[in-house]
Amino acid sequence: MALKTENIVYQDDNVILEGYLALPEKLAPKNPAVLVVHDWSGRNEFAVKKAEKLAELGYIAFAVDMYGKDKRGQTKEEKSALMQPLMADRLLLQKRILAAFTTVKKLANVDTNRIGAIGFCFGGLCALDLARSGAEVKAVVSFHGLLHAPENIPSHSIKANILALHGYDDPMGTPETVIAFCNEMTLAKANWQLDMYGNTVHAFTNPQANDPDFGTVYNKQADNRSWIAMQEFFKEGL
């Protein structure tokens, strides 16, 4: 039996967004749900496939749209132009991810006490900012995410369990940045953990990543290890 999937249109104020819903074959009256937040490209096929993989594991999965319906970048310049307004206004970013979270909470068969989120690159930051906002999200996983703290939340009220999966050689999240993130999570009294992968750079989960000069290279071993780590993390906390 194929997974049941559909596009879900939702809004953040006047911005029309389109998420992608994937449902497990066997639905209980109440099921855990996971938001999947895309990289700087937009709600692309990569995010959709990750949602489907989560549905195969038994989760209601929702690939979030952070940019707007049909807004996706192809070149680095286009991707940066889509991402930068949200990076420059973390309050707007947090509002946008909260719109997706609210949408998922209203979906049929979702256990609102068991909602998690994962994100990749830019999406990792979005998932972490969902937790930083104090939302009632249960567990958050960042895959090679941007880790720097927002300035608009002076004191965090993080209720989610946090897992960061990171390449040691990631030029977009250096060891110094990672240490600052660990200190941030500790000061927030979050229940957090970190997995670091040696000889691994940014975008290690994306088979299309092959730009050593830019610092984005796929790493099959780190990809596999990180997905297993996420599954174990969710079994424990979601």
Least confident of 41-45, 155-159, 167-171: 155-159
Quick check: 161 pLDDT over 70? yes
Per-residue CA distances from 154 to 147, 148, 157, 213 (Å): 16, 13, 10, 35
Between 153 and 22, the higher pLDDT residue: 22
Query: Distance between CA 74 and CA 78 in Å, rounded?
Result: 6
Average pLDDT, the chain: 96
Q: What is the pLDDT of residues 195-207, one digit of tens each?
A: 999 999 999 999 9
Q: State the Cα–Cα distance between residues 18 and 63, nearest whole angstrom.
A: 9
Q: What is the pTM of this model?
A: 0.97
| Count of CB atoms situated within 10 Å of the CB of 207 | 10
Give the pLDDT mean for 160-173. Answer: 97
What pLDDT is stored for residue 1 in this prediction? 57
pLDDT for the residue numbered 75: 96
Which pLDDT band, with edges at 50, 70 and 90, does 155 fall under?
low
pLDDT of 118 higher than 70? yes
pLDDT above 80: residue 2: no
Options 3.40.50.1820, 3.40.50.510, 2.40.50.140, 1.10.472.50; which CATH number does 4-237 get? 3.40.50.1820
Give mean pLDDT, residues 155-174: 93
Where does the pLDDT of residue 154 fall: very low under 50, low under 70, confident under 90, or very high at 90 and above? low
Q: What is the mean pLDDT of the segment spanning 111-137? A: 97
Q: Which residue blocks in 133-207 are alpha helix, DSSP H?
A: 175-187
State what percent of residues in the chain have pLDDT above 90: 95
CB burial class (10 A; 0-12, 13-18, 19+) of residue 152?
A: middle
Q: Where are the domains of the chain?
A: 4-237
Tokens of 101: 């979270």
Q: What is the pLDDT of residue 152?
A: 84
